[in-house]
Chain A
Amino acid sequence: MNGRAIFAIIRKDLKVVLQNKGLVVPLLITFLVFFVVFPGLSALIPSIVTDFNPDAGDIEKLISQMQPGLQQELSGLNMSQKATVFLLVHMMAPMFLIVPLIVATTVAADSFAGEKERKTMEALLYTPTTDRELFVAKLLSAWLAAVATALAGFVMYSITANTASWSHMGRLFFPNAMWLVMIIWVVPAVAGLGLSVMVLASARAQGYQDAYQIGGAVVLPVLGLFYAQISGVMYFNIVAVLLMGLVFWLLDGLLIWFGSRIFRRGRLLSA
């Protein structure tokens, strides 16, 4: 494997994406909403969960429907603290996964289908890179972008959550062990899932929009996790997160193996 060539393609793909305001601005807005606005709103929690506010009862009722493990985790906390931990630590966990997924699918769609659409792929195919180097470089560019964004987001989220909740939490409560496992184990796998689905979608698609529409469905399993947790079917604890990561990694392996088989120079040209 020619590391210099792989690095050059990654550099190129990331530069091209960063120059595209149509992609960067929506991603930046998503980043701010998920990692600054949502955790920042936790500052309002004490004023919502007062005894005089009927919404407080709703939250209590919602928590009572959760898995026993989660209820046990929240025991010993006052109402504001319960609501904060419930929302910022547990409810936001599946939503957090949407960000690496969106970044991975966006960059992968631009890198594979977008390049084909802009007719810049052909010049790349005449370089001495092998099919495998091209494939690895394109996967890595989307994966690195997604993981780096998620890591930056995680740091931002941690700072905002702890700062905004300091008045009623009185301590650093975020991240907990489950989040650390999620960031290290699940986020890279979810990013891999997004880009591997997009590799397959790009093989069929004629352009960026086309690929993005086909591959966009990959967000559904993550939304499914959110609904599973809010309906009390499951909750994000270390074991669940480890298992979830394993399933995502297995899916990644399968999809990337299949993607590598269809990634051939000739197909990229004649498609």
Chain B
Amino acid sequence: MNKTVITINQLSRVFKQTVAVDKLSLEVHAGEIFGFLGHNGAGKTTTVRLLNGVIEPTSGNMRVLDLDPQVDGPALRARTGVLTETPSMDERLTAWDNLSIYAELYGVPRADVSTRIKALLTEFDLADRAQEKVGGYSKGMKQRLALARALLHKPELLFLDEATSGLDPIAAHHVNNLIERMARREGCTVFLCTHNLVEAQKLCDRVAILEHGRLVALGTPAELTSQYVRRLDVEIEVPAEQVPTTLAVLRSLPKLVLGEPTQPNSALVVTINKYESIPEVLDCLVQNHVRVYRLAPQEANLEQVYFTLHEEKEGVQ
């Protein structure tokens, strides 16, 4: 097993009456892309602040890169990079000035500062606008510049808080490729806070789902989908004249088919109770002389896990 770079044990943080993080326990391993999912206000940003020694916990303990963030905050922050939720750039300064000042703050060797900044600005397609004030940048450009800043000192552990928020699809794709490269080729551990579930599904080795500061699920995307997704959406394509018959057959199977089938396009979409019911549904259709052209189970994803957990939580409340 890979070395553990983050160990969190019963970590809590309370702001006046609000419990932002509630008895959180988890581990993050070296070199993995760890997704930290949750809605706005779930406690993601507070956790990042705690893990970097920026704020103090109310209770519990943690180790990050074998350091205690409360005791060794400066030493720890020299080895982590953080992309904050808002780009947090000095808009009155140029991109170059912003990066050169942070290179000094992160202790990048003086001889390497210029080369490093040039390389990052080129990587993020900002080199030709390096001497412009950041105030004139678009949101996506600011976000890319903020990401470049987080990478200036080649961190071992990278915290990304909504890394692709505000980026156009091409820029988001570029950033996602970069995250993968950082983790897969350069061995950097990535702690990715997001509510973009598609992105998390695609990028993350493991994910934790947070609800109101409390951990409600932890595992690989595949583990979580098999554990939490009990329903399955299936696309069934039949001849147009057989749609009424198909609907009638499906409605006659209330134990297997949940809710009312829909027809968003040429195919019907049916929610069935579990994967193992597919042969039985198909059998009934064939017995009723329905000519099934295509039956395609849709892959369960983190989005379904997320909504299942959310519904459960709301149901309890």
Contacts and interface: CB of A to CB of B under 8 A. Distances in A.
Interface in A1-23: 2, 4-5, 7-9, 11-12, 15-16, 19-20
Given A12-B101, A265-B54, A266-B56, A128 B107 contact: yes
A11 B105 CA distance: 11
B55 A269 contact: yes
Contacts of B105: 5, 8-9, 124, 127-129
A118 B54 CA distance: 19
Interface centre among A20, A118, A123 (most CB of B within 10 A): A123
A80 to B, nearest CB: 48
A5 B54 contact: no
Contacts of B36: none
B54 A19 contact: no
A60 interface: no
Interface magnitude class on chain B: 20 to 34
Contact of A12 (B49, B77, B90, B107): B90
Interface residues of A, number: 29
Interface string B80-93: 10101010111111
Contact of A269 (B49, B92, B107, B133): B49
Interface of B: 15, 49, 52-56, 73-75, 77-78, 80, 82, 84, 86, 88-93, 97, 101-102, 104-107, 133, 146, 149
A19 B133 CA distance: 10
Contact of B107 (A4, A118, A122): A4
Contacts of B53: 265
Given A4-B104, A16-B92, A118-B91, A129 B82 contact: no
A129 B90 contact: no
Contacts of B73: 130, 265
Contacts of A124: 105
A270 interface: yes
B54 A125 contact: yes
Interface in A216-271: 265-266, 269-270
B247 to A, nearest CB: 54
A119 interface: yes
B92 A128 contact: no
A169 B55 CA distance: 63
Contacts of B89: 120, 123
A52 interface: no
B97 A128 contact: no
A19 B92 CA distance: 6
Contacts of A129: 74, 105
A133 to B, nearest CB: 8
B93 A15 contact: yes
A127 B49 contact: no
Nearest to B91: A118
A203 B89 CA distance: 21
Contact of B88 (A2, A122, A266): A122
A123 B88 contact: yes
Nearest to B103: A8
Given A122-B88, A128-B75, A128-B107, A16 B102 contact: no
Contacts of B146: 123
A125 B15 CA distance: 19
A232 B104 CA distance: 53
A19 B104 CA distance: 21
A126 B191 CA distance: 15
B149 A123 contact: yes
A67 to B, nearest CB: 48
Nearest to A2: B107
